[in-house]
Chain A
Amino acid sequence: MSLSWEPAALLMLGGVTALILIGPPVAFCFLAINLVGAWLFLGGEFGLQQLVRNGIASLTNFSLTPIPFFVLMGEVLFRSGVAMRAIDAVNRAMGAVPGRLAVVAVVAGTVFSAISGSTIATTAMLGALLLPQMLARGYDRRMAMGPIMAIGGVDMLIPPSALAVLLGSLAGISISGLLVGGIVPGLMLSALFVGWIVLRCAMNPSLAPPDPGPPERATILPLLVHVLPLAAIFAAVVGSMVGGIATPTEAGAVGASATLVVAALYRGLTVKALAQALAGTVAVSGAILFILLGAVTFSQVLTFSGAGDGIVEVLRAFDLPPWGMVLLMLAVLLVLGCFLDQVSIMMLTIPFFLPIAAAMGFDMVWFGVLFLICMQIGLLTPPFGLLLFVMKSAAPPEVRMREVYAAAAPYVLFSLGVLLLVFAFPPLATGLNAWLR
C-alpha cells in the first residue's frame, strides 16, 4: 500500500503513544501497531508472517545475551545476602563524616553498581536496608531518600549495565565502548553526590543527626572481607573484556559465573536463593526482551513507509548546527523520560536519532553515553520516574509523593550538570576507552 510518509509516521508513532496512554503493557502496544504497519506496508498476510520471522530474528541475537546475565549478577548478590553484607561493611568502615549514612548509601550504591546490572535491585536494596536506619536516627526525609534514588540511577551508567547493552545492540554502537564510556560520568556523579551530602549536612547538622553514643571506631576489616572479593566480579567483567579474553557479550556470562562462585564461597548460594535469582532475572530480562520482539518490524515499517527518512528530513530542516541538534535530541529524551520507560524511549527514538548522529559525524560512544545519562535522569524526573515510585513504596506511608520529588530534585540538577559537562567535553565519555585501547 502506498501512503505518504506523514500518515505512516502518525500511525506508527502516534499510534504507539496513544496505545501506551490507554495502558496495555508496552510490548503489546508495539506488537499491535506492528500488526497494522506490517499489513499496510510489508504486504498483507506476507507482511504479518514477516513480522513473526522478524520477531524471532530480533531475539536470536548474541549481542543481547548480556542483558539477562547482568541482571542475574544483581539478583544473585541480592538473594544470597552477599550485597547486604557488603553494604554493612561499607557502613562499618565509614568514619564520622557529616550525613554518614547518606554517604554510606552513595558509596555502597556505587560499589553495587559495579557488580550489578539492575537499577531497581540497587535502589530497592538500599531503600530496604538504609532508609529505615536513617529515618530512625532522625535524618531529614529528603536527605534520607534522595541519595538512595540518585545512586540507584547511576547503576545504569557504571558497568555492568543491561540498558547500555540494549542501547548498543539496538543502535549499533560498540557495547564495550558504551560500558567503559559510562564509568567516568558515573563516578563523577557519585563524587558530586557525596560532596553535596557532606556540604549540606555540615552546613545544617539537623539534616542528619550524628550517630548516638560514642562514635564507633571505623574498621576496614569488614571491607576487606565483604567488599574486596566483590572486586573480582568487576574485574571478571571489565578485565576479561578489556584484556581481550572475552568479547563484551561473553563478559556478561563470565561476570555471572564469577558472581555465582563468589556467592557460593560466602555460603549464600542456596537452591532457594538461586531459584529466586533466576525468577527475578527472567522477570526483568524477559520484560525487556519481549518488547524487542517488535523492534525489527517497527524500524522496518518506518523505513519502508518512508516515515523514518521523512522525520529525519524534518529534523534536518531546522538547519541547526551539530551542537544544537544534539541538544534538541537530548531535550526530547529528557521530556520523554518524564513519561515513558527507557526501553520504549530507545525503540521510539533510535530509528531517527542514530541516522542524524551518524550523518553529523558524532562519536557514537559519546552520543550513546549522553543518551544513557538522559535515561538515568528519566528515572528521577516527575511525574513518572521509576525510582521515585520504588522509593515511595520503600518509604513509610506518611511520606508524600511531593516529598519524594523534592528529595530527588538536587540530584537531577547534578545529573543535568554532568550531562552538559560530557556534552561539552566528549573525552569524559571517550577518554577512558582511548586510554584502555
Chain B
Amino acid sequence: MLLALPAAVAGLLVLGMVLLITASVARRALTGAEIPGTVELSEIGLYLSAALAAPWLLHKGQHIRADLLGPALPPAGARLLEGLSDGLGLAVCAVLAWVSWGTLVASYATGGVVRRTVTYPEWWLAAPLPFVFALLAGEFALRLTRVATDPAAVRRDEARSVA
C-alpha cells in the first residue's frame, strides 16, 4: 500500500492533467481565454506523477536497466553484481533523501514563494522528495536483503527500455 497508493495518485494526476488541459484548450477555442493556472498545475502534476510513482516502479522492476554484464557471469558473480547494484542504489537514495530534506528545510527557512499565475510556497515542491527517496532507499534495502539471503534472487525480467 505504501508504494501502490502514491502510484495510484500519480495515475490520477495524469488523468487530471489530460482533462484540465483539454478543458483549457476548449475554453480558449470558444472564449479566447484559457483556464488560468493550467500550465503551472500541469507542470506540478507531471513532476509529482514521476516522483510519486518512482518507488512503486522500482518495486515492480519497471525502472529501465541495461543489465549487460550480469547475464554473462556465472551465478555467484551475477549475484555479487546484483548486490553491488542494489547497494549503490541504496547509497544514492539515502544520500538524496538526506540532501532533499536539507533542501526542503532551507527552502522553508528562506520562505521563498513561486509567483506565477498560481502563487505557492517554494518548499511545497521540495516536500515530496525526502519521502520518495526514503521509500526508494527502503526498497533498495529490501532488494539487497533478498540478494543476500536468496541465491535465486537475481532479477532478469526487469524493464530494458521504455520506447
On whether A23 and B65 interact (CB within 8 A), knowing A32-B92, A119-B163, A287-B159, the answer reads yes
B71 to chain A, nearest CB (A): 10
Would you list which residues of chain A between 212 and 260 have a CB under 8 Å from chain B?
240, 245-246, 250, 253-254, 256-257, 260
Among B84, B103, B163, which residue has its beta carbon within 8 angstroms of that of A163? B163
Among B47, B56, B102, B106, which residue has its beta carbon within 8 angstroms of that of A59? B47
Contact A60 B89 (CB under 8 A): no
Q: Mark B34-68, 1 if CB is under 8 A from A, else 0.
A: 00000100111011011101101110101111111
A402 to chain B, nearest CB (A): 16
Contact B50 A286 (CB under 8 A): yes
- Interface assignment of B93: CB less than 8 Å from any CB of chain A: yes
Q: Mark A277-292, 1 if CB is under 8 A from B, else 0.
A: 0110111111111111
Contact B69 A342 (CB under 8 A): no
Closest B residue to A281 using CB positions: B14
A168 to chain B, nearest CB (A): 16
B33: which A residues are within 8 A, CB to CB?
Answer: none
Contact B85 A23 (CB under 8 A): yes
B118: which A residues are within 8 A, CB to CB?
Answer: none
Contact B106 A49 (CB under 8 A): yes
B19: which A residues are within 8 A, CB to CB?
Answer: 257
B65 to chain A, nearest CB (A): 5
A282: which B residues are within 8 A, CB to CB?
Answer: 7, 10-11, 14, 49, 53, 56-57
B96: which A residues are within 8 A, CB to CB?
Answer: 31, 35, 52
Among A31, A51, A291, residue most surrounded by chain B Cβ atoms (within 10 Å): A31
Closest B residue to A152 using CB positions: B163
A62: which B residues are within 8 A, CB to CB?
Answer: 39, 42-43, 46
- Interface assignment of B134: CB less than 8 Å from any CB of chain A: no
Contact B69 A23 (CB under 8 A): yes
Among A19, A22, A386, which residue has its beta carbon within 8 angstroms of that of B163? A386
Closest B residue to A49 using CB positions: B103
Size of interface on A: residues with Cβ below 8 Å to B: 72
Among A21, A31, A287, A339, which residue has its beta carbon within 8 angstroms of that of B57? A287
- Interface assignment of B1: CB less than 8 Å from any CB of chain A: no
Contact B11 A21 (CB under 8 A): no
- Interface assignment of B152: CB less than 8 Å from any CB of chain A: no
B57: which A residues are within 8 A, CB to CB?
Answer: 282-283, 286-287, 290
Q: Mark A295-318, 1 if CB is under 8 A from B, else 0.
A: 000000000000000000000000
B153: which A residues are within 8 A, CB to CB?
Answer: none
Task: Tell me the number of A-to-B contacts counted with CB atoms below 8 Å.
Answer: 218
Contact A27 B64 (CB under 8 A): yes
B42: which A residues are within 8 A, CB to CB?
Answer: 62, 65
A378 to chain B, nearest CB (A): 9
Contact B50 A290 (CB under 8 A): yes
- Interface assignment of B15: CB less than 8 Å from any CB of chain A: yes
Closest A residue to B106 using CB positions: A49
Would you list which residues of chain B between 13 and 33 have a CB under 8 Å from chain A?
14-15, 17-22, 24-25, 29
B105 to chain A, nearest CB (A): 10
B100 to chain A, nearest CB (A): 5
Contact A60 B125 (CB under 8 A): yes
Among A293, A375, A389, residue most surrounded by chain B Cβ atoms (within 10 Å): A293
Among A19, A26, A52, A256, which residue has its beta carbon within 8 angstroms of that of B64? A26
- Interface assignment of A11: CB less than 8 Å from any CB of chain B: no
On whether A20 and B22 interact (CB within 8 A), knowing A52-B100, A60-B44, the answer reads no
State A245–B18 Cα separation when bound (angstroms): 16
Among A274, A275, A289, which residue has its beta carbon within 8 angstroms of that of B50? A289
B67 to chain A, nearest CB (A): 5
Contact B18 A256 (CB under 8 A): yes
Closest A residue to B78 using CB positions: A23
B45 to chain A, nearest CB (A): 8
Contact B11 A31 (CB under 8 A): no
State A254–B54 Cα separation when bound (angstroms): 26
Sample of 4 more A-B contacts, CB < 8 Å, known A290-B54, A341-B64: A21-B66, A286-B50, A286-B53, A292-B50
24 A-B pairs with C-beta separation under 8 A: A21-B66, A22-B84, A22-B88, A23-B68, A25-B89, A27-B64, A28-B63, A28-B88, A49-B99, A53-B103, A60-B44, A60-B46, A62-B43, A65-B46, A118-B163, A119-B163, A253-B20, A254-B22, A282-B7, A282-B14, A282-B56, A285-B49, A286-B50, A342-B161
8 nearest A-B residue pairs (beta carbon): A278-B11, A25-B63, A253-B21, A289-B50, A286-B53, A59-B47, A341-B161, A386-B161
* Residues of chain A whose beta carbon lies under 8 Å from any beta carbon of chain B: 19-28, 31-32, 35, 45, 48-49, 51-53, 55-56, 59-62, 64-65, 68-69, 72, 118-120, 156, 163, 240, 245-246, 250, 253-254, 256-257, 260, 274-275, 278-279, 281-293, 339-344, 375, 379, 384, 386, 389
